[in-house]
Structure 1
Amino acid sequence: MEHAELTTEQVLKRDIPWETYMTTKLITGTCLQLLRRYDNKSESYRAQLLDDDGPAYVRVFVSILRDIFKEETVEYVLALIDEMLTANPKRARLFHDNFLANEDTYEPFLRLLWKGNWFIQEKSCKILALIVSARSKTLDGIIANGEASNSKKKSTTIDNVLEGLIEWLCVQLKKPSHPSGAVPIAISCLATLLKEPVVRSLFVRADGIKLLIPLIAPASTQQSIQLLYETCLCVWLLSYYEPAVEYLATSRTLPRLIDVVKSSTKEKVVRVVVLTFRNLLWKETFGAQMVDLGLPQIVQSLKVQAWSDEDLLEALNQLEEGLKENIKKLSSFDLYKQEVLLGHLDWTPMHKDPSFWRDNVTRFEDNDFQILRVLITILDTSSDPRALAVACFDLSQFIQHHPAGRIIVMDLKTKERVMKLMNHENAEVTKNALLCIQRLFLGAKYASFLQV
C-alpha cells in the first residue's frame, strides 16, 4: 500500500515490538510499562489514562519520536497522538506541562515535517500546529516548552518552530507533496495559526499571500467548499494585519472574493467573506474598488436571503451603511480613477457628462498623466470591446477639454494605437476610435459635431 494512502485506523492495527526496543535500550522499562497499559486499549480507557497521567504519556511519545527512526513505528506513534488530539484538541496543553520542562517537545515534529512519507508529514503538521497554538504566549521569544531559563540543554525556540512551520506550509502550497492532500492540510493549519499576529508577520514575509489568492474561487464539491472556507478564513485573519492589507490592495483578491460571495450558498463562506469586506472597507483603496465592482448591489441581494446567522445579518447591515458613506465621500473623479486603474471601463454617467470633464480635466495631469497612460495601455492590452470604446471616447474628451490635450495625447504615441482600432470588428469601438482620430487630426472645433 502506498504511504500516501495510509489511514490512521490502518496504522493503529499494527503490532509494534516494544519489548525489542527495551532490550536494545531505545526505550526504558517505565516507557514499556506505560505503553503496555495504553496500547490496543479502548478509547474510553485511554482517555482515563490521559486524564490521570497525560504528561507522562506525552513524554513517552516524544521520546520515541526522538530516538526511534523506524518508519512503521514513527507512523504508529504519530497516529496515537493524532487520535488523542482529534478526540480532544485541549489535550495539546499536555505538551506544555511543567512535567515536560526539560523536554524539547517541538523538535521531533519539526524534523519530521521535512523527512519521511506523506503520512508522517501530514500528522506532524497537524500535531505541531495544535501544540504550538496551545502554548503559553507569555514565554515567546524567551524559552521554549516551559524549559527552565538556566538550563544548558539546547531547545527549539518558538521562533524556530513557527518559521519552520510557515516555510513548510508555503512549500506545500507551491509544490504539494501529495496531489490532493497537501494544499487542504496546509490551508487548514494556516487557518489555525494565523490567529496569532506573529504568524501573520512571518507569513507575509514569506510571500505567502500570493499563494492563497488562486484558491479564492467558487467551489462546488464538499471538499472544495471546505478548502474555500478555510482560505477565506485565512484572508479574514490577514485583514487585521496592515502589511497584509497593503499586499491585498494591489492583488486580485477583492474581485475574487466578490465572485465567491455572489455564487456561494454556503452560509459560513458568505459570512467570512462579508466580515472580510467589513474589515477592508475603510483601508487603502478598497472602498472605491468595492463600489466599482458593484458590491452595494450584491449586499442588497444578500440581505433578502434567508440567513440564520445573526452575525452575518449584522455584518451585512454594517457593510451596507459603510458603503453608502464611502460613496458619499468619493468624488466623481475618485470613482473615475478607480474605474480606469482597475480596467473596468463602462458607460457610467461621468464619461459623457461635459461638466465632469470641465471640472476635472486638469487632474489628468497628476502623476505624470498616469490616468492617460493607463487609458492608452488599455488600448494595447484589453480584449473587452466596451473598455476599448470607452477608452477611445475618454481620450477624445481629454483632447476636447484640455487646452493642450491634442499635443499631450500625440506626445504619448497614441495615434497608431487608436488607428489600429478603426478596423475593429465591433462597431462601438470603430465609432469611438474614429472620433478620437478626428479630434487628434482636426481639433475639437471641427470634430465636436461628430459626437453622437
Structure 2
Amino acid sequence: MAQLDISSSAISIPTLLIVNRYFDEVTSNIRERPMPWEGYQRASLITEQELLLLRNYSSRTGLKDQPTAEKYIDLFLILINKLSRMDALQYILVAFDDTIQKFPDTLVYLCQLEVKSEGSPFNTLKRCLGKDDDYLNLKAAKIITDLLNHASPKFVQTFDFTDLLLWLNRQLQSENPNVVDVSVQILQGLLKLRSFRPVFYGKAHLMNIFMGLIQASREGNPQMLYQLLFCLWLLSFEPIISDSLDKQYGVISQLVAIAKGASKEKLTRIVMATLKNLLVTAPGDNLAAMVAVKLLNFCDNLATRKWTDEDILDDIEFIRQELTERFQKLSTWDEYVSEVESGHLSWTPSHQSDAFWKMHASQLAADRGRLLNCLAHALNVPNQDPTVLAVAAHDIGQFVKYYPLGKKMVQDSGAKQKIMELLTHPNADVKYRALVALQVLMSHAWDQ
C-alpha cells in the first residue's frame, strides 16, 4: 500500500472526495433548485447587497477568481448564521463546498479567519451538525473535515472535537445505509488527523459501534468493509492505540478471517498493511495473538499467490520475516504463554503433551496465578468458541493433575464452577473435556 505522510498532524489533500450516488443526486438537485432570494430580501432576512451577490452566484458569472471566491465565502458564513430554513441552508452549504472545490485556496483563507477570530468558520459550520436534516449535517461535517485537514498542526492539536464525536455517534447508528456510508468516508478524512485518532479511540461506545459495522459489513458489502478497514489502518499507526487494539477488540483474528474470505484484492491489501502496522508499532502487545491465529502459516500461503498489487507481497514478506525472526527466539513455553494471553486457544501440541505439563504446570501458578486466571477468564467469555472452552477446561485439568496446590487455586479462581456448568454445553467435546477436568479435581480432592 502506498504510504501516506502520516507523520504530520494533517495529511494535505485538496478536498475530501465523497463517493455515494445518493449524496451526489441530492447535491445536484439542491444546486439546480431555484431559490426565492427576493422574498428573503423583502422579509429583511438578507440585505440588498447580499441579494445581489446571490444573484451573481446563481448566474455562475460572479465566481471567477480567488478574491471573488473569498467574498462569497464571507457571504455564506453570514447567511448560515442568519438563516434557519433547511432549503436555504442546504443551498448555501452546497455553494460553500462548490466554491472550495473550484478554489481550494479558500480553505487556507478560512483557516486564517479562524486564527483571526473573524466569525469563527468552525463554530458557524458546527451549527449545522445538530440540524434535523441528514444531508445538511453530512455536508457540514464534510466541509469541517476539509478545513481541519488544511489547518495548522498547532490548531488541530487544540481543536475541540466534541461536536464531531457526538455527530459520529448519531450518524454511524443511522438506519439509512447512505448516511452511514458517507459518515464513514468522512471518518476516513478525520482519522488522517493524528490528533483525532486517540480522541476517537478513547470513546469506547464509538469504537464498539465502529467494530460492529466492520462485523456487519463482512456479509456482502466489500466497499463499506474496505472503508472501515482503512479507518482501522489509520488508527494502527499510533502506538498508544495499536498496543491495545487486539486486547480490547480482538482485531487480529478478525483481520485474518477477513483476509481468508476476501473477495477483493484491496481487502487483502488493507488487512496486511494493518497487520504490518500492529507488528511494527506494538510487537510485544500483538505477537501473542499473531502466534495464536497462526499468522506466519497464513502469510506463507499468501506468498504463493499471484498479486497485481506489489505492495501486498511487500507487506506479506515483511510480516513473514519479522515473525520468523521473532518465533525463532520463542521456546515452546513462550508460545504457550502467547497463546493463553491472547485468548485464542487451539489444540497446539503443547496442550496434549504430558512432558510439557510435567515441566511447566507449576509456572501457571506464578505471578499469583496470572496464566491460570487467563484460562479461567476464557471460560467466562459470552458466546465463547467451543474449541477455546474445550482447551481451557483441558489445561485447567492438567494444571491440577501436575501441580500439587492446583486444586485450591482453581477453586479460588472460580473456574471449577464454570467447568461444572460446561457439563451441559451443547458441544460434545466441551462436555467431555469438562468431565475429565472435574474427574481430576475430584480425585485430587480425595487424595488430599
Q: TM class by shorter-chain length?
A: 0.7 to 0.9
Tell me if structure 2 keeps the 8 A contact 1:163–1:202: no
The residue correspondences of 1:395-434 to structure 2 (distance < 5 A) are 395-406=396-407, 408-409=409-410, 418=419, 428=429, 432-433=433-434
Please say if 1:104 is aligned against 2:127: no
User: Which of residues 72, 78, 83 in structure 1 aligns to 2:93?
Assistant: 78
The residue correspondences of 1:385-400 to structure 2 (distance < 5 A) are 386-400=387-401
User: Is the radius of gyration larger for structure 1 or structure 2?
Assistant: 1
State the distance in 2 between where 1:407 and 1:238 align: 43
Partner of 2:32: helix, strand, or coil?
Answer: coil
Tell me if structure 1 keeps the 8 A contact 2:108–2:150: yes
Please say if 1:182 is aligned against 2:179: yes
Tell me if structure 2 keeps the 8 A contact 1:75–1:120: yes
State the Cα distance separating 1:86 from its structure 2 match.
Answer: 5.4
Tell me if structure 1 keeps the 8 A contact 2:291–2:338: no
Using structure 2 for the length normalisation, give the TM-score.
0.80
Unaligned runs of 5+ in 1: 142-157, 447-452
The one-letter code sitting in structure 2 at the alignment partner of 1:64 is L
State the distance in 2 between where 1:395 and 1:350 align: 14
State the distance in 2 between where 1:421 and 1:84 align: 64
The residue correspondences of 1:30-429 to structure 2 (distance < 5 A) are 30-41=49-60, 49-51=64-66, 53-85=68-100, 92-96=107-111, 101=116, 102-139=118-155, 159-160=159-160, 162-173=161-172, 175-176=173-174, 179-207=176-204, 208-217=206-215, 219=218, 221=220, 224-248=221-245, 249-282=247-280, 283=282, 284-376=284-376, 378=378, 386-406=387-407, 408-409=409-410, 418=419, 428=429
State the Cα distance separating 1:318 from its structure 2 match.
Answer: 0.7
Measured against aligned partners, the alpha-carbon deviations of 1:274-318 in whole angstroms (never above 9, x if no partner) come to 111111115243111012112222222322333222222211111
Measured against aligned partners, the alpha-carbon deviations of 1:248-277 in whole angstroms (never above 9, x if no partner) come to 132222222222222123233322221111
State the distance in 2 between where 1:72 and 1:417 align: 60
State the distance in 1 between where 2:250 and 2:26 align: 38
Measured against aligned partners, the alpha-carbon deviations of 1:313-344 in whole angstroms (never above 9, x if no partner) come to 21111111112123223332332234334444
State the Cα distance separating 1:127 from its structure 2 match.
Answer: 1.5
State the distance in 2 between where 1:308 and 1:89 align: 34
Q: In angstroms, what is the RMSD of aligned CA positions?
A: 3.5
Change in Cα spacing, 1:20 to 1:321, as seen in structure 2 (3 Å) is: same
State the Cα distance separating 1:112 from its structure 2 match.
Answer: 0.9
Partner of 2:192: helix, strand, or coil?
Answer: coil
Tell me if structure 1 keeps the 8 A contact 2:53–2:72: yes
Using structure 1 for the length normalisation, give the TM-score.
0.80
The total of aligned residue pairs comes to 419
State the distance in 2 between where 1:209 and 1:70 align: 34
State the distance in 1 between where 2:231 and 2:425 align: 44
Measured against aligned partners, the alpha-carbon deviations of 1:341-361 in whole angstroms (never above 9, x if no partner) come to 444433211112233223322
Change in Cα spacing, 1:422 to 1:261, as seen in structure 2 (3 Å) is: closer
Please say if 1:18 is aligned against 2:37: yes
State the distance in 1 between where 2:33 and 2:377 align: 64
Aligned twin of 1:146? none
Change in Cα spacing, 1:385 to 1:201, as seen in structure 2 (3 Å) is: closer
Tell me if structure 2 keeps the 8 A contact 1:114–1:121: yes
State the distance in 1 between where 2:397 and 2:312 align: 46
Change in Cα spacing, 1:412 to 1:292, as seen in structure 2 (3 Å) is: closer
Percent identity among equivalent residues? 28
State the Cα distance separating 1:400 from its structure 2 match.
Answer: 3.2
Partner of 1:308: helix, strand, or coil?
Answer: coil
State the distance in 1 between where 2:411 and 2:112 align: 74
Partner of 1:197: helix, strand, or coil?
Answer: coil
Unaligned runs of 5+ in 2: 1-21
Tell me if structure 1 keeps the 8 A contact 2:38–2:51: yes
State the distance in 2 between where 1:32 and 1:383 align: 65
State the Cα distance separating 1:166 from its structure 2 match.
Answer: 2.4
Change in Cα spacing, 1:128 to 1:245, as seen in structure 2 (3 Å) is: same
The one-letter code sitting in structure 2 at the alignment partner of 1:187 is V
Tell me if structure 2 keeps the 8 A contact 1:6–1:119: no
State the distance in 2 between where 1:120 and 1:138 align: 29
